[in-house]
Amino acid sequence: MSDAFQMGPFLLKMSMLAVIVSLSLGFVAISAQLKNNREMKSAVIELLSNALLLAFLVWKFSYVLFYFSKAVENPSSILYFSGGENGAMLAVVAVVVYLTKTVRKKAIPVHFVALGMATGFLAATGAYQLLTVVLEQSSMWYHVQQVAICAFFLWWLHRAKEGLIHLAAWLAPVMWFAISQVYVYFFVPNREAVFAGLSGDQLMYYAFALLLLFLSRRVKPLGGTTDEEAS
């Protein structure tokens, strides 16, 4: 999405517009998912909105931290550049700290936060992939499959949300989502294999899926036993 259009004095990239629209739809999906609990809906949306804003600010202005000399020499560069990958990792740390402290302070049930995050992520990702198909019309098979994957897991979340109260209930679906990403990344153009025919992203998802499989066999559901204890 390299095209851009003028909005008054501002130049807005299509990729940025797609991100804004996708995030907006993500919050619409969260609102719909939690519509039966207004108190939790407001709390979760406020929490995730603040987390998203915090992530953006840390990612954007961490440019000063990582490129201090350039920022001092040319202060206007802060408006045009970001902290890049290092800034993104710093933003993740900041968001995790913020979510942990705020959830504890406001006593927001973790499963509502997890449900909101999962719903928003899937809806926003699916919308972005769909917009990419419409605007770029390239790598369509990859993007269309991502849309289908997000739609399926959104449907599953809606059907299974009443049972997603405990950690054990989340492990299997997240594992299958990771496995789906290993598969769909075979359709990424110019994919570079790193090991065993898998790209770096695929290896990351594969390792994550194995970790979740390991945990799913050891986390004890409420009132139940692990597979090892049962045997």
pLDDT at 156 over 90: yes
Residue 164's pLDDT band, with cuts at 50, 70 and 90, is: confident
* DSSP sequence for 130-170: HHHHHHH--SHHHHHHHHHHHHHHHHHHHHHGGGTTSHHHH
Mean pLDDT lowest among 41-45, 47-51, 134-138, 147-151? 134-138
Which pLDDT score, from 0 to 100, does residue 207 have? 96
Which pLDDT score, from 0 to 100, does residue 161 have? 87
Which pLDDT score, from 0 to 100, does residue 227 have? 47
pLDDT at 172 over 70: yes
From residue 68, give the alpha-carbon distance in Å to each of 16, 77, 104, 135, 168: 26, 11, 35, 36, 44
Domain locations in the chain as residue ranges: 11-146, 166-231
Which pLDDT score, from 0 to 100, does residue 204 have? 95
Q: How far apart are the C-alpha atoms of 183 and 179, rounded to whole Å? A: 7
Query: Could you report the per-residue pLDDT of 15-74, keeping only the tens digit for each?
Result: 778 888 999 999 999 999 998 888 899 999 999 999 999 999 999 888 888 887 877 788
Residue with more model confidence, 114 or 80: 114
Query: What's the predicted TM-score (pTM) here?
Result: 0.84
Residue 146's pLDDT band, with cuts at 50, 70 and 90, is: very high
Query: Could you report the per-residue pLDDT of 87-104, keeping only the tens digit for each?
Result: 889 999 999 999 999 999
Helix (H, G, I), strand (E, B) or coil at 5: strand
Residue 6's pLDDT band, with cuts at 50, 70 and 90, is: low
Instruction: Give me 99's structure tokens.
Output: 């979510």
